[in-house]
Structure 1
């Protein structure tokens, strides 16, 4: 009956089992996910791909995973398929198909009849037709396996998955496969020597990256904004005066956080895209001698500008103020030296230049800032640095609260990759990628936005051509070509778009992104010399080699 019918489907060619490399083919994994099992490794051609989970699209089709364990195990094998670069179906050995059929034949008719009546055998004709119609309406870039391919036949249970986009936004940045693998590995228990060793390794790597021999370094389960909030909570009391130079979206976030904890905020208003003048900051600090802290943003990704933190820190120290710096998107991408520059607090994040997943913020703390934290009166609990330090000093370091263990494992792998070539090599790579993007954009006749362009190694902000909204460019390049750029924020919305070129981004990613920009502008009726941006970027890369 139904079990026999499913076995007949397998005898007619439904593939199963790993390939010669030991990789599991692309298939439907919902039964694995419902039972907490591991998802099969997905493979297209010779490399892995990111696959979105299949989604039920027909209200009248029952959940095919609702049966017993044997049924689920068979379904996990039944729908797998692998295609090579030509899209051809790889038939598996006849012996494997016979083995699968024998297992399914072993299901008793009585067990099959006990299944709920609303269940449909997989795949049902209704489901097949609905999926065919649904996928036919998707944009071409989303059909990783087109219906024209023999490997993508819905009657064999194969559902197309989204092709990974090319992310050239200011973050989160693309994640290397080694990091994804580490995150997907079995969790290390967070109260014991395994996690303690993980914390020690991550902290040691970050210490080198910060160039901070004497600082305390704490690992927080939070976004970068959580790390910023922890600095406000631990360093200040209500009513304390802080100085915030405002020249972009993330500098304004500092001011909003300080205001939320009832600090007295002294802003220095500057045009977005301005590179701050240390002399102007020094003059402003001299007018307000009661300022306790200066809140700086190193990489202002809303404008692409890298602020001169070294000089700004110098004038802040001379005024007697603590120096707190947001390095979430700069640490690892541009030069930074915690000790040498006299920084008191520097807050980073896992998801930017280091190319790990979002979820961990790290804070480097000077002795002066640590002393301030002992007497600060702002309310704090989850982000109380004293608790984090107490647990970090255990023989096997821990986090006071349940940490994001999988993200920590991924961050450990990301740091190992980063340090394979070393900090200096990574900085040179970011400088080269930045120069290639800027030369490519100039070759298209577009205007760059922001001051200090030669130092802006993380993000390039570009003015949209006259008559075209920057938002339209971002929407069109993504919908047509699968490239993710970032639109403008705040007063720059619609006026600029931004290309991120830090983290796990390669020379070829930049070439593809610039080619996509050329094509998109031409489709929006902006005159373009085809290949100009690509050639300019290639020139930068080839000269470097």
Structure 2
């Protein structure tokens, strides 16, 4: 019996709300992932993903089964050589995650930290690159979803090229929403995942790699088995197969999500996200909420909301009331502030955001919350 899945509005920063077509794409005849028919689908996905960032023949796409963190770890653990340092630019939780990965794999690293939600200090980054000759790599998170700040890919790409450093960019929460063109802003390794702005299901991560940089890894000693970037690339190139069993149904969902991206168009998706974000932000401000990130640094994808000081306010009660109404909101990550987060990534329409704001207003009134701030 056909059962239409109930539509939920996910305002958390991924996994995102998906279309019914993406969900249904997972319902396929069972297939062994070693069959040629499946390998052809994987190859098409690898090729189509490159089109989204305008990558040419000098780039390749390496897929992994796993979350975005799997791809982050695959790149750092595979790429960074023992005799070179990596400079990690940090202004949020996911920059800190790169630091944790570097520490876990005993990689020599330098961290340049800014306050969470504050712009990165690229002038200081340049000073470090000038003074530390053994730095070979530079790492940045493009859209830092712990706060909603957008770090500039242009400046990052420029200094990496200027000082001839290998660039590693986490575009997990910006890819397929914010336009990225690696012909204009070259990146050596760009990381993303299937369940954010590409609007697929969770379970696939991928890395866009410059082939000449990737080929240099052939002779390096591996630090991991499952997350070995070069071996995964080699397997995909030679046999069209993952080294290890992939999440088969998620691959089919990603294929459909990519098709929907091309049908909507990159510009239209970007504009839809921006419009939804503006409706959301304007509505929150009208209700009396305050936001964390300044307008100049906003991503137009995720907003961090400051919690009011009123004793009647309780995030869990507000979350639960919204959840039972069909909306998911997300706790904040800023350690020294009480916040919550709302994202507009996913298959969301203007009406979804407007409906959410109506429910939020109603719940605030029912809970008798006064939006009081210092």
* TM-score normalised per structure 1: 0.64
Q: Choose from 101, 124, 128 the match for 1:257.
A: 101
Contact 2:322 2:359 in 1 (8 A): no
Q: 1:392 aligns with which of 227, 236, 243?
A: 236
Q: Does 1:459 find its partner at 2:302?
A: yes
Q: Distance in 2 between matches of 1:188 and 1:351?
A: 23
Shift of 1:473: 6.2
SS at match of 1:399: coil
Instruction: For residue 192 of structure 2, give the secondary structure of its aligned residue in structure 1.
Output: strand
In the aligned structure 2, how far is the partner of 1:377 from the partner of 1:446?
A: 52
Which one scores higher on RCO, CA 8 angstroms, separation ≥ 6? 2
CA displacement at 1:391 relative to structure 2: 2.8
Q: Where does 1:520-535 land on structure 2 (aligned, <5 Å)?
A: 520-527=363-370
Q: Which runs of 5+ in 2 are unaligned?
A: none
Asked if residue 223 in structure 1 is aligned to residue 184 in structure 2, the reply is: no
Q: What is aligned with 1:150? A: none
Give the Å deviation of 1:460: 0.9
- 2:128 aligned with 1:167, yes or no? no
Matched, 1:383 2:227: yes
The 3-state SS of whatever aligns with 2:116 is coil
Q: Indicate yes or no: 2:270 matched with 1:427.
A: yes
Q: Distance in 1 between matches of 2:314 and 2:262?
A: 36
Matching residue of 1:297: 141
What is the rounded CA distance, in whole Å, between the counterparts of 1:471 and 1:287 in structure 2? 46
Distance across 2 between alignment mates of 1:368 and 1:474: 51
1:418 matched to which residue of 2? 261
Q: What SS does structure 1 have at the residue aligned with 2:280?
A: helix
Tell me, yes or no, if structure 1 residue 502 matches structure 2 residue 348: no
Q: Which has the greater radius of gyration?
A: 1
Instruction: Determine which structure has the larger strand proportion and give its number.
Output: 2
Aligned pair count?
369
Aligned partner of 2:355 in structure 1 is 512
Aligned equivalents of 1:377, 1:339: Cα separation in 2: 31
After superposition, where does 1:15-414 map in structure 2 within 5 Å?
40-42=1-3, 48-50=4-6, 165-213=8-56, 214-238=58-82, 240-394=84-238, 397-414=240-257
Post-superposition shift, 1:521? 2.1
Q: CA deviation at 1:188?
A: 3.4
The structure-2 alpha-carbon separation of the partners of 1:288 and 1:420, relative to structure 1 and needing over 3 Å to count, comes to: same
Name the CA distance, whole Å, in 1 between partners of 2:214 and 2:329: 39
Equivalent pair of 1:167/1:485 in contact (CA under 8 Å): yes
Distance 1:482 1:392 in 2: 40
Cα 1:454–1:433 shift into 2, 3 Å: farther
- Cα pair 2:86 2:138 within 8 Å, conserved: yes
Q: Are the counterparts in 2 of residues 236 and 378 from structure 1 also a CA contact under 8 Å?
A: no
Between the aligned partners of 1:292 and 1:451, the Cα distance in structure 2 is 33
> Which whole-Å CA distance do the structure 2 matches of 1:514 and 1:492 have between them?
27
Partner residue in 1 for 2:282: 439
CA contact (8 A) 2:147 2:334 kept: no
SS at match of 1:341: coil
Q: Secondary structure at the match of 2:304?
A: strand
Q: Secondary structure in 1 aligned to 2:347?
A: coil
- Cα RMSD over matched residues? 2.1
Q: 1:181 to 1:480 in 2, by over 3 A?
A: closer
Alignment TM-score, normalising by the size of structure 2: 0.92
1:492 CA drift (Å): 5.0
Cα offset for 1:454?
A: 6.3
Contact 2:310–2:369 at 8 Å: present in 1 too?
Answer: no
Q: Is the 8 A contact 2:280 2:353 kept in 1?
A: yes
